[in-house]
Every structure is written in C-alpha cells, then in structure tokens.
Structure 1
Amino acid sequence: EESHFVWVSTGDLQAMRRGQAPYTDRGEDLGLSRSGWGWDARFADFDNDGVPEAVQAVGFLRGEKNRWPELHELAMGNDNNMLHPGAWPHFTPGDDLSGHLHNPFFARAKDGRYYDLAPELGLDDNHVTRGIAIADVDGDGALDFAIADQWEPSYFFHNTGKHLGSWLEIEPRLPAGNGTRPAVGAQATVWLSDGRRMVAQVDGGSGHSGKRAPELHFGLGRLAPGTPLRVDLRWRDGNGRVQSQTLRLTTGRHTILLGTPAAAPPAALAAKPSSLTGKAG
C-alpha cells in the first residue's frame, strides 16, 4: 500500500560498516504516513518550542471527474506499456487527481504522534501544491512559509502565532570575491545546558520544487533570552577542505562570515507575538 515514509536515524553507526543504512521508517508510528498525493515536505519549528512541526505539499490535478482509475490501470499494467505513449491515460481540463485536498500542517502531541492541525489554524483551503519555501521573512524569530500551486496563485503564510519560545538564527556566509555567498552545506551544532544537542544544515531546499532560506533556525523553548550557547560550525571552504569553528552565541539572530575570528555583530531581534495566517500572492 502506498504511503509516506519518514526515515529516522537509529544512531547505529556500526551499521554503516556492515553496509546498512542506519535508518528506519517511522512514518506510521509518527502519524505522518497518510495524507494525500505528496510533492514536498518540510520539518520546521514554527512555535520555537524545540519540537519541529511538518508541512506537506499535496494535490495533483484539480477538476471534477475522478481519473484515478485510469492512472491505476497504468500503474498496475505491464511495464512495456510505458514504451507506447498512445497507451498512456489522456487527461483533459476537468479531470481530477487528488485535486481537492488541503496541505497538512502536522504538530507533535505529547503521545509522540503528529496530528494535522490545518483546520484549526485556518489552513484547510484546497490546494494543488508543488513546493514549499520556508524563511523568517521579517526577522522576528518566527518562521513563515510560502506555497507554489500548480496553475493557480501562490500563497504566503505569515507567522503571527502567540506564545513563541526563545530562538537562535544563524546565517552562515562564505567569502566570494568582493562579497559573500550562502554557505550551503554548512552545519551547526547547538549545545544546550542539559547536554542535548540540536543539529541543522544549510540545504537550500528539497522536494519537487521547494526552497529554504540559507539560514539555520533553532527553537529553544523556555530558554531565557540572551543566554549564551556553544555553537560548533563545520563547512567546506572554496577548495573543498573541511573547516570547523566554535563560537559562543546568544539567542537572537547572527550573521557569520565563516573562518573569521568571531561572528559578525549579532542582530538580535526581539521575538514578536505570533498564528499562521495566509495571504494570496
């Protein structure tokens, strides 16, 4: 049965020595395996409590006539049929393939499972979405996101939720001629006072057509604003060599030119009250 997978590390590093990937699928256990036809997914901490939420882009083709039976015929048929375009389903305006779904917004409950809160947040309008982009657009420490829909308007969702936790945002940069460039691939490990670590990497985006700002966002829960934290940075320089640096950063926002003795002056911004509201783009 087709569903969504959530591959979670087991922490068994010895498995790689045995030629096994140390990951296991926990999609069903976490409540994230079943939603709709998916193109993109993002984990991000929208309320800064230290536990990421999940947003998913779903939907295929919006219309009124269900054409899944025809598509299933192709999926269940002989693979050699794919060699003949004349045997492919012919979809026309008005045909529908999962075209009346809403993009789930999953939050994790105390029982460890994720539940779709999109209706409660006013995010349950129908969409045919291909990509999600996430960034702290206004620099207030609350992540926002935008969605790109197929043949329809795009939408921007501004995070105005309340009761946000403390946060740390790091924008790592690399020298580039007379300026700088995003440090794609750079990794930050934030050490908390109780010994826990939070790790994130600048990835730029993934999925079908999704994007992510080249920054790292950490929700810190009830940590007192201004608390200094140890942050270990790792990256590759322009010659491909692995570099590392350890800094002490306070909560708030920091832009860092990697390889310099200290971080750029922190632009710590006070977190503003914030619920997710949508505006057409």
Structure 2
Amino acid sequence: MKGFLHLLAGGVALLVLAACVIPPVPEPEFGIVHGPPSRAFVDATHSAGIEAVHRGEFAMDGVEGYLGVGQAWGDYDNDGWVDLFVTGNLAPNVLYRNLQDGRFAESPWSDQLAFPEQVSGGAVWSDYDNDGWLDLYILNKEANTLMRNLEGQGFVDVTAEAGVGDTAKGQSAAWGDFDNDGWLDLYVVNWTCLPDCKPVDFETHQDRLYRNNGDGTFTDLSNTMARDRLLGAGFAGSFLDYDNDGDLDVYVVNDEYANPIGNVLWRNDGPGCEGWCWHDAGPETGAGIVTSGMGLAVNDYDNDGDLDMYFSNMVRPMTLLTNDGTGGFANTEDKAGVGVHENGVTGWGALFFDYDNDGWRDLFLAATTVKPRALEPGALMDMLFERQNYLYHNQQDGSFQDVTPETWKEQPRPTMGAAYADYDRDGWLDFVVTEWNEGFTLYRNQGAEGAGHHWLTVRLIGGQGVNRDAIGARVTVETEGGPVQMQEVKSGSSLGAGNELSLHFGLGSAAQATVIIVWPDGSVETHSGVVADQIWQVAR
C-alpha cells in the first residue's frame, strides 16, 4: 500500500484521493494467454447448505475494524470426510459437519467455536497433541484461541494452559515441526501496529514462533529470530522446506503499508543460538521482496522437485517465485502470465491445485478492486469492492493460460480467503472462498475438464517420532509417461486458511503410480503399483 500513502504530521497514514491516482501498469514482457473459459466449477453453496455470513469493517488507517477472514477444512470427527470451519469476523463463526452426500449441517459443537463476543479471522486445523483428533487454532482481533478436540464430542479452550494466546492482530497461522521432535510448532503472522506505532510495542505486535513442548504447553521462541524482521505487517505465512535440506523453514508475506521490511524467508539453521538458529535468507535468495504482499500459495507448480511460491499484492502485479533448485528464486510472473497486469487489482488468497487432474498444479487467485469510496476530493480509498477472481490453467511449460469462467466476470464478488479440499470424495478438488462483508461460496468441481483423468489422494498418519498429521512429509508420485510430482504436507497458507491435509495428485491417463514417501524424520518408503482413483492411507 505504500505507493498510496500520504503520511500526515501526526504519523497516521491515510489513503487520500489526491495521493491515490493509480499509475498505469507497464505491459508484461510476455502477454497473458487466454483460453476457453473453464466449466469445471459450479456454485454449490445453496445445495450444500452453507449459510454462514461474514460481517466486517475496516478503516485504512488501522483505527477501526479488523481485516480478518478464515476458512479451514479438517475432518474433526474422524469419519473420513472433511468438515468446514468458517469465521464470521463480526458475525459468529460456524463449524459445518460433512453429511457425506454433498451437503453440510451445522455441527452440534458449532456454538463452542462461534465466539459471538470475539472478532475472528484466520483459522487452521492440526493435531498439536498427537492424540489422533484435529484441534483448531483461531486468530482473533485480540487474543487468539486454541480449541482442543474432545475426540469428536466437542471442544475445550486450552489457550491459557498452552500459552499461545497471542494478542496482536493475527491474520494467518501455520503449523510445522521445525525441530523434528514429533510435535507440531506454531508460527503466527500478525498484521500491523496501527494506529499506535510510535513507538512499536514489540511484545504485542511482532510475529510469534511457539515451540511445542510435547506436554500440552508451548514455549515462545520468537526471541531466537531477529526482532526487526518480526515486525512486518504480515498477512500470510507457511512452513516449507525451500532448500531441500530436510528441515522446515518459514516464509512470511508482509504488507509494506506500516513497516516496509519486505517478505521474510526464515531459513532453519538448526539448534544453537540460544534456542534455535534462524536466518532471514530473503535478500540473498530473491524472496525478500518489498511490496504490498497479501496471500500465499506454496507448491511445486513446474514439477521440478522443489517448492515454488506465488503471492498476491495490492495494485502491483502478483509475484511468482520460481525455485531454481539451488536455494534461490526468480520472479517469473511475466513469463508465466499470472501477474494480473490490470489497474486497481488487490489480490488476496491464492491456491496451487490440480483442478483437471492432469498432473500439473493450476492457480486460483481471489481478488477485489481498489477505488475511492466516494468521488469527492479527499475521499478515502478502499480495496474491498467486488471484482472477478482468476483461474489459470498450467500449460506444463512454465506458463499458465487464463481460463477464468465467464460467470466470475459477470458476477464479481469481494473475495478474500480461499481453501481447497475434495469435500465430496469424487476425486476432483473443490474450494471455498470468503467474500468480505457478505458470506461464503462453495465451488464444486464437476469434473467437466480432464474427463477420463485418474487421481490419487495420499493421506499420511504419523507415529514413531513423526507428528500425527505428518506435516513436513514429502510425497513423490511417478507414473509411466507422466510428470514426476512432489508435494509437501502443510497446514496453513493462502490467507487465514487451511487446505485439506491429504495430498491430491492428478494422474492423467495413468491407472497406477509409484509413490515415494519421505517422512519428516528422513525415513523413506517406496510403494509400487498403487492403484489410481482412491484415497490411499499410509500410517507409520
């Protein structure tokens, strides 16, 4: 947002019309390629019974409101079907139970998570205590909340005893076992200190890293990270092994609005350094870009065996960081055609997922429009007006084709959050989005594209020193004549979101696959002749 800030003498940043003339965006080196509009997705919100609403308010100076959205998929009752939790911001949160027939019903335990007196944003599931039941971490405008799952029969607030009630303006959170001790740790991404930034209160406004002690409690290890790099206005973050060295690093997408430090790539350098060694490798790897970062997608979109990252921006083109395999990144959004070189676009949540099961991850981007609230001089700018979302089909050569459905263009919405799952267990990935101050839309993938393509969903269950969710494990799938695909199990990315923990692989025409699993402890399993078109479960 920095390009639109007019800093007043009192230090409060306002977006004013006179300072907010949006400059024309230069033409990309490679033009966007448009393909036939996709027919893959249908709006299943009503038929599925999703009726929750989102009610929010937000002032650009940070004085009022909370820019929070949350949507998280997770099988809380262990019946094999993913359930859905959504946060309402000013409206109550809702937990939906999957009825296994394409419909959802409000869970009997939804009221325990509604938080009518709270203002909730992001949410993410994980089994932090390794008891076999997914627990839920909810980010709030004030203290965040950890809700422990009582074996599918309700939830209990364990925030105080766990010690993870961070009180900053949390936007997103991610779980990952950075020390490979078999217990999931937690990184909390906080937005900004506004309106009270002079001076910044380090204790209440920085990002947080919590180490799981294995006994239901956590230790705050934020002091092991460079404090000035924890003070960005963060929107999204993810654990990932970007350098393929076997341990989880952390990438944080920051908005330059309040503190232009750039995005941060925390390289995990192992034990020591008064607790643990972390180094911001952003500047030396090309990942430390200073921009108005918003949402984040992480996956190996080009099937070359390392993790790439796509993050959204406000007004500027989006960024595609392609991993070069040596620990560095290059921004290839122009060549790939996914920058969205259009005036007034604010990108939010983003997803890498293979919607047509051809073995190559495609891309979804949630977006809104920036424009004045009113046309008189001095009018404030706003960025939450309706706009079409974007769908890009992977062309298997490093580029994407814009296949955005016509209905999305004809019926634009103020979309921010997004998360994917195969909620109806038909082998085609679906997704849900949050629309600011409106509600939620569930897009069902009807398999209209990629007909005849096979698929394989891999669900890992940890044990014997590996966290129960197997977060951080890597799965490689090989098929005859198809690409070699690699994905990493993760919890938390996009924007305030939790995708389904199982890994979905499109197999194209292949009816079987070889699956190689690298568990977080480094042990390797190879399984040949795995039959396609199934949810395949592997336990330690």
Same fold (TM over 0.5): yes
Counterpart for residue 51 of structure 2: none
* DSSP-derived class of the 2:351 partner: strand
What is the one-letter code of the residue matched to 1:199? M
Q: 1:250 to 1:131 in 2, by over 3 A?
A: same
Counterpart Cα distance in 1 of 2:382 and 2:487: 38
| Contact 1:148–1:154 under 8 Å retained in 2 | yes
Q: Are 1:204 and 2:491 matched, yes or no?
A: yes
Match of 1:235 among 519, 529, 538: 519
What is the SS of the residue equivalent to 1:126? coil
The 2-side partners of 1:135 and 1:143 are apart by 6
DSSP-derived class of the 1:28 partner: helix
State the match for 1:220 in structure 2.
507
Q: Identify the residue that residue 322 of structure 2 maps to in structure 1.
A: 8
Structure 1 SS opposite 2:408: coil
| Pair 257,192 (structure 1): closer, same or farther in 2 beyond 3 Å | closer
* Inter-partner Cα distance in structure 1 for 2:397 and 2:489: 30
Aligned to 2:90: none
CA shift, 1:157, in A, is: 0.3
Q: What is the 5 A alignment of 1:153-232?
A: 153-162=439-448, 163-175=451-463, 181-194=468-481, 196-223=483-510, 225=511, 227=512, 229-232=513-516
* Residue 144 of structure 1, CA deviation: 0.3
Residues 147, 62 of structure 1: CA spacing in aligned structure 2 closer, same or farther, 3 A cutoff? farther
Cα pair 1:63 1:99 within 8 Å, conserved: no
Match of 1:246 in 2: 526
Q: Deviations over 1:36-89 (max 9, x none)?
A: 21122111111111222210111267985369x97xxxxxxxxxxxxxxxxxxx
How far, CA to CA, are the matches of 1:196 and 1:137 in structure 2? Answer: 26
- Cα 1:119–1:22, aligned 2, differ >3 Å: closer, same or farther? same
Q: Distance in 2 between matches of 1:164 and 1:61?
A: 41
Deviations 1:175-225 (A, max 9, x none): 49xxx94222221011222484110111123132122100111111122x3
| Counterpart-to-counterpart distance in 2, 1:25 and 1:194 | 29
Aligned partner of 1:25 in structure 2 is: 331
Q: 1:59 to 1:139 in 2, by over 3 A?
A: same
Instruction: For 2:525, give the aligned amino acid.
Output: Q
Q: TM-score if structure 1 supplies the norm length?
A: 0.68
Offset of 1:107 from its aligned partner?
Answer: 1.6
For the 8 Å contact 1:131–1:211, the answer to whether it is kept is: no
Distance 2:482 2:446 in 1: 31
Mapped partners of 1:96, 1:155: distance in 2: 22
Aligned Cα root-mean-square deviation (Å): 3.0
2:537 is paired with a residue whose SS is: strand
Distance 2:372 2:437 in 1: 12
Distance 1:24 1:181 in 2: 34
Question: RCO higher in 1 or 2 (8 Å CA, sep ≥ 6)?
Answer: 1
Where do residues 236-275 of structure 1 align in structure 2 (5 Å cutoff)? 236=520, 241-248=521-528, 249-259=530-540
Counterpart in 2 of 1:77? none
Greater CA drift, 180-189 or 211-220: 180-189
Q: Are the equivalent residues in 2 in contact too, given 1:49–1:164 (CA < 8 A)?
A: no
Structure 1 residue 119 displacement after superposition:
3.2
Alignment of 1:31-46 (within 5 A): 31-34=337-340, 36-46=345-355
SS at match of 2:519: strand
The answer as to whether partners of 2:384 and 2:436 remain within 8 angstroms in 1 is no
Distance 1:55 1:139, change over 3 A: same
Q: TM-score, normalised by structure 2?
A: 0.37
